[in-house]
Amino acid sequence: MGKVISVFIRKGGSGKTTTAINLASGLAKQGKKVLLVDLDTQANATVVLKAIDDNKNIGKVLSDEMTAKEAIRNVGEFDILPATTDLVNNEQELTIKVNPNSFYKVKSVLEPIKSLYDYIIIDTAPSQSILVYNAILATDGAIIPVEIQTLATKGLSQTLELVDSVQPQNPTLELIGILPTKVQARTNLAVVLTNDLKSRYKDKVLPISVPFTVKVPEGQLAGKSVLDYDPTCDASKAYEALAQHVINYYER
């Protein structure tokens, strides 16, 4: 049965979608069967991977027009359950018709396909919406990417509080860790902020940092993970290490 991992934080620009895509790619390169679920109303992962499909997407699945298996498409090494910006309508519908089942909709649509994958990675919106709650309630492990810039850790404490608040409803939920991203390693600021993050959150911070590099957006423009665009760059090595960390975490 596949493990579900959500990548989320309330603040935008933290490398959330980049992490979701490259974690999926890194796991796939380790021979794992991987599904990336785009649950972000901005559909950024879908756009980057050039997987837009107005007829088959997570929105259609959430509105019960098709099953998750019917909406999945392959993007090379792994599969994606794509999104469109119309996903905001599903979010509004779940909010308006809020009931206990509204919070477990994503879990219910993923359950029939979990056995098909080793890992299901969910990319979420930078918010605390009902779709984010859905993702966390369907999740086994959470990764929280944090951009190492001044004030960029805003939203981290609220995100950790959200994980804690959801655990009674989802006892299998574990924090895999906080992932420092966009780290400009040669600057004093990055050193100070990284040390501060580790001082405050200690072993919750992963022993992996993703350095800032122009190779990431260049790869996205090319419709590729940075692992495929430039496998030798430091960001690729960091995401390879993250994928291996996840495998060790669950398969130890």
pLDDT, tens digit, 9 for 90 and up, residues 57-115: 999 999 999 999 999 999 999 999 999 988 988 888 887 776 778 899 999 999 999 99
Which DSSP letter does residue 223 get? T
For the segment 33-49, what is each residue's pLDDT rounded down to a tens digit?
A: 999 999 999 999 999 99
Reading the block at residue 13, the tokens are 């620009």
Residue whose tokens read 């950790």: 160
Give pLDDT, residue 219: 94
Report pTM: 0.94
Q: Is the pLDDT of residue 187 over 90?
A: no
| 189: confidence class by pLDDT, cuts 50, 70, 90 | confident
Name the residue among 194, 174, 180, 193 with its Cα closest to residue 252: 174
166 membership: H or E segment, kind and range: helix 156-166
Q: What is the distance between the alpha carbons of residues 219 and 34, in angstroms, rounded to a whole number?
A: 20
Q: Is the pLDDT of residue 165 over 60?
A: yes
Which DSSP letter does residue 6 get? E
Give pLDDT, residue 92: 86
Give pLDDT, residue 43: 95
Grouping H, G, I as helix, E, B as strand and the rest as coil, residue 141 is strand
A 10 A CB-CB count for 201 gives 18
Q: Is the pLDDT of residue 151 over 70?
A: no
Grouping H, G, I as helix, E, B as strand and the rest as coil, residue 126 is coil
Q: Is the pLDDT of residue 120 over 60?
A: yes
Q: Is the pLDDT of residue 122 over 90?
A: yes
Mean pLDDT value of segment 16-38: 97
107 membership: H or E segment, kind and range: helix 105-110
Per the prediction, the chain carries an average pLDDT of 92
